[in-house]
Amino acid sequence: MTILVTGGAGFIGSNFVLDWLAASDEAVVNLDKLTYAGNPENLASLRDDARHVFVKGDIGDYALVLDLLTRHRVRAVVNFAAESHVDRSIHGPEDFIQTNILGSFRLLEAVRCYWNGLDDAEKNAFRLLHVSTDEVYGSLAKTDPPFAESNQYQPNSPYSASKAASDHLVRAYHHTYGLPVLTTNCSNNYGPYHFPEKLIPLCIQNALSGKPLPIYGDGQQIRDWLYVKDHCSAIRRVLEAGRVGEVYNVGGWNEKANLEVVHTLCAILDELQPRADGKSYAEQITYVTDRPGHDRRYAIDAGKLERELGWKPAESFETGIRKTVQWYLRHQDWVNNVLSGDYQSWLDKNYANRHG
């Protein structure tokens, strides 16, 4: 048996692949375009592992996806592949439309074609799990209840709008064609292999390099935070036991304002790697102009996933954030590699004459 993971060289996808192969012998075909956010170094420990087949390619390449599904007799697809950074979607939405909407559509078409050719038992057992975000639900006021699966979609950024569009397509392929799909909408993840353009790894890195820790606006934007390995365990659980056609919200019950998150990071760094001058890293906090249209609050009600499938996060914010800081302190080579652009030139060299 084999699963196809898309976007498995990115932050969450690579954590998922590593955790999957640590827990199971079921092979993984990993399809990733290796955009700036995809990093094969995340998967270095699988280099000689025959259970992991890496293919550089686009989810929008119908022929390639169909070939992979057929050749590897795939029994499930987990779709992580996406453009994922809200700020980048504001500067240039085009890539988000291409991958998150058109790419997801072509992936669905290839899966539909493959699935139609399976026998009844294989058809029934097959799953496509689409990984999405809580951002599709829009922004909450301070006293609003957390997002439930029944909340209206009100995406506010090109990123969340493109993810919302892909969620709708996934839903439609179930209702129209009977494709056995599952969708998860998760809150903000943090943990190992997080690309250092996002708040938590950016602040850890800037703190250590003596640079400002940029806080958008007043820093009171509230997010629910989930340790990435808990997101991965939720996806495994939904894939295993989720009801076909259903949506499951995934969250950590950890609502925190951005400023609080950064103060927590500074306190842990003060303890684990104090500044040479004895001052707190919090001195480096700097307020910068807010992101246009910045959503004020996201909060997730993960009660359905807990009740129906018995899933619970293993980490609290306090334990997860400490593990994350420790990971970044131990993996400065990984961060420097990403930041230096070395791995981009390595990729160009490595893939110049290769085909998936």
Ligand X SMILES: NC(=O)c1ccc[n+]([C@@H]2O[C@H](COP(=O)([O-])OP(=O)(O)OC[C@H]3O[C@@H](n4cnc5c(N)ncnc54)[C@H](O)[C@@H]3O)[C@@H](O)[C@H]2O)c1
Active-site residue identified among 135, 167, 224, 255: 135
Active site includes 87? no
280: amino acid identity, one letter: S
From the list 6-14, 121-129, 252-260, 315-323, the region that binds ligand X by CB under 6 A is 6-14
Of 31 and 215, CB closest to ligand X: 31
SS3 state at 331: coil
- Binding residues among 124-143 for ligand X as defined by CB under 6 A: 131-133
Is position 10 an interface residue for ligand X (rule: CB under 6 A)?
A: yes
- Binding residues among 155-194 for ligand X as defined by CB under 6 A: 163, 186, 188-189
Is position 81 an interface residue for ligand X (rule: CB under 6 A)?
A: yes
CB of 88 to ligand X, least distance (A): 9
CB of 227 to ligand X, least distance (A): 11
Active site includes 159? yes
CB of 312 to ligand X, least distance (A): 18
Q: Note the residue count of the chain.
A: 356
- Binding residues among 35-64 for ligand X as defined by CB under 6 A: 35, 37-38, 58-60
For 195-208, b where at least 16 C-beta lie within 10 A, e where not — what string? bbebbbbbbbbbbb
CB of 286 to ligand X, least distance (A): 23
Active-site residue identified among 114, 137, 159, 328: 159
Only one residue has tokens 């390595």, namely 346
Question: How many whole angstroms separate alpha carbon 228 and alpha carbon 187?
Answer: 10
Of 4 and 268, CB closest to ligand X: 4
Question: How many whole angstroms separate alpha carbon 100 and alpha carbon 164?
Answer: 9
Active site includes 301? no
Q: Of 77, 74, 92, 34, which is closest to residue 58 (Cα–Cα)?
A: 34
CB of 107 to ligand X, least distance (A): 8
Is position 263 an interface residue for ligand X (rule: CB under 6 A)?
A: no
Indicate the angle between helix axes 104-116 and 158-177, nearest 10 degrees. Answer: 20
Q: Find the residue with minimal CB distance to ligand X.
A: 10
From the list 21-29, 34-42, 207-215, 288-296, the region that binds ligand X by CB under 6 A is 34-42
User: What does the radius of gyration of the chain's CA atoms come to, in whole angstroms?
Assistant: 20
- Binding residues among 197-216 for ligand X as defined by CB under 6 A: none
Active-site residue identified among 58, 134, 167, 224: 134
Q: Are 299 and 146 in contact (CB under 8 A)?
A: yes
Report the DSSP beta bridge partners of residue 5. 30, 78
From the list 76-84, 144-152, 282-290, 307-315, the region that binds ligand X by CB under 6 A is 76-84
Outline where DSSP puts E strands in the chain.
Answer: 2-6, 27-32, 52-56, 74-79, 127-133, 181-186, 188-190, 213-216, 222-227, 247-250, 255-257, 285-288
Roughly how many angstroms between the first and final C-alpha of the chain, as a whole number? 21
What are the helix (H) ranges across 144-301?
A: 158-177, 199-208, 228-241, 258-272
CB of 300 to ligand X, least distance (A): 10
The binding track of 86-105 with respect to ligand X, each residue x by CB under 6 A or -, is -------------x---x--
Is position 247 an interface residue for ligand X (rule: CB under 6 A)?
A: no
Q: Are 229 and 19 in contact (CB under 8 A)?
A: yes
SS3 state at 151: coil
- Catalytic residue numbers read 134-135, 159
Residues near ligand X (CB under 6 A): 6-7, 9-13, 31-35, 37-38, 58-60, 80-84, 99, 103, 131-133, 163, 186, 188-189, 195
